[in-house]
Amino acid sequence: MNKTIRRASAFCLLLVLALLGRATYVQFYDGRALADNEHNRRTTIAQYAHPLGNIIVAGSAVTGSERTDSGDLAYKRTYTNGDLYSAVTGYSSQVYGATQLEGIYSDILDGTNPELKNPIDAVTGKQTSPGNVLTTIDPDVQKAAYQALGDKKGAAVAIDPASGKILGVVSTPSYDPSKISGTTDGAAWKQLTEDKDQPMVNRALRQALPPGSTFKLVVASAALEDGLYSSVDTPTDSPNPYPLPGSSTVLRNENASAPCKNANIRTALEYSCNNVFGKMAVDLGQDKVKAMAEKFGFNASKLDVPVRAAESVYPSTDYTSQTALTGIGQFDVTATPLQMAMVSAALANDGVLVGPHMVSKVTDADGDTLKSFANPSSTRVVSSSTARQIRSAMRTVVDQGTGTNARISGVEVGGKTGTAQHGENNSKTPYAWFTSYGKDSATGKQVAVAVMVEDSGAERSEVSGNGLAAPIARKMMAAALK
């Protein structure tokens, strides 16, 4: 063989090896990226070629699949009581993707998760039956919250303090995910995304707003844990009104005749005394209040339930006057309803915060468990003594203070109201908050709740945590404890 032929043969061999190498790379290394590419139509076709698995509430599916009339996508997602459960399920759309539980567990629900495949299926690439996602949601609590919120713009969350199970997650106004699950739902999508009331925003988990006076529970906890005051019945050193340090402004109380001067923590919570908690935050110092807030879950950049919750924030500031304002849940303090439910849950559970979660387990088509959330993590936030004292003061709020609309006959209920300023110089309608716990000594059941009413359409003078949010919390607690 002459030199020219040998060189040509070697060159051809290199080309063949290069092609084999490229094919191997695409097949075994780049294949997954190509398969997962959002522009790969085959992935969407495969996803909707069969009925999807379901999201389960109390043993019943709140999702389904139906055969399409035309096109290359054989099935589309359907929802039972979609408006009621949208804050739990999210949506699964043939055009717009998937969110919340639908998105997080999409590979379980469409059957592509490797854990669903047996060894033969894994080798052959055979389509496997999809799995299911079982939630912790209590349908009675969910319905109670949804019906009580009604046409108000707001949100509510209920948690079992002992287990961390989320029993209800509601955000209003809501939407029906069925209306955007197909390929011809562009008009519905446009209407939902352009709606000024933002029905697709999950206000329960994904919107953090000033929590107002509900944050006083955190400050009171810090004061007792630090030893600033020995008990909730020890008088404080609190002038009324309280002059904000380094400022010509004084911190006044909504009820000018309330006995807030030097009031103890019990009375200060009962009447929601701003002067007491503003000065308490200053006396403790920003770092101690921040440390307590973070024990309850504030400033956590990653809180998955398993939907990623928005961060609730306790801010840093160089101004003592602003630290005072944080003591009443203002300045730049923000919280989600989930976060404020976590505060009440920890106090109800003797000072221990159990990780909140709204999925109990993920199963395959035969019901075998792939992943369980039966043993969530827990953290001691405050001592048993502090939790017991704060609960006692919260009961006073409900029995005879600003939270009387949350009372339930025969049930131990404690709570805290909040009315948070909104807009520059409080120019807009305030947010109405209520966070609480309920315990039924006869059954041993307990529940923690937080409700936020962003806008009810009521006159500004009629907006209060007791008037708007507490009745909603009462109905949720009654449903959970029945």
- pTM of the predicted protein model: 0.90
Dihedral sign for Cα 404, 405, 410, 416, please.
Answer: negative
Residue type, 254: E
pLDDT in tens, the chain (482 residues): 577 777 777 777 777 777 777 766 666 555 555 555 555 566 677 777 789 999 999 999 999 999 988 777 779 999 999 999 999 999 999 999 999 999 999 999 999 999 987 655 555 556 689 999 999 999 999 999 999 999 999 999 999 999 999 999 999 999 999 999 998 899 999 999 999 999 999 999 999 999 999 999 999 999 999 999 999 999 999 999 999 999 999 999 999 999 999 999 999 999 999 999 999 999 999 999 999 999 999 999 999 999 999 999 999 999 999 999 999 999 999 999 999 999 999 999 999 999 999 999 999 999 999 999 989 999 999 999 999 999 999 999 999 999 999 999 999 999 999 998 766 555 578 999 999 999 999 999 999 999 999 986 676 556 789 999 999 999 999 999 98
Cis peptide before 130 (omega within 30 of 0): no
Cis peptide before 306 (omega within 30 of 0): yes
Hey, what CATH topology would domain 212-360+373-481 get?
A: Beta-lactamase (3.40.710)
Residues serving a catalytic function are 213
Residue type, 413: V
Q: What angle do CA 173, 337, 155 make, to 5 degrees?
A: 15
Residue 414 gets the label, from left (phi > 0), alpha (psi -120 to 50) or beta, of beta
CA distance 294 to 164: 18
Q: Are 56 and 365 in contact (CB under 8 A)?
A: no
Distances in Å between the alpha carbon of 160 and those of 317, 342, 437? Answer: 35, 10, 10
CA distance 51 to 127: 12
Structure tokens at 292: 């307590």
CA distance 106 to 5: 56
The domains of the chain are located at: 212-360+373-481
Strands 132-135 and 359-363 come out as: antiparallel
Dihedral sign for Cα 109, 113, 119, 120, please.
Answer: positive
Q: Are 86 and 177 in contact (CB under 8 A)?
A: yes
CA distance 86 to 349: 29
CA distance 151 to 161: 29
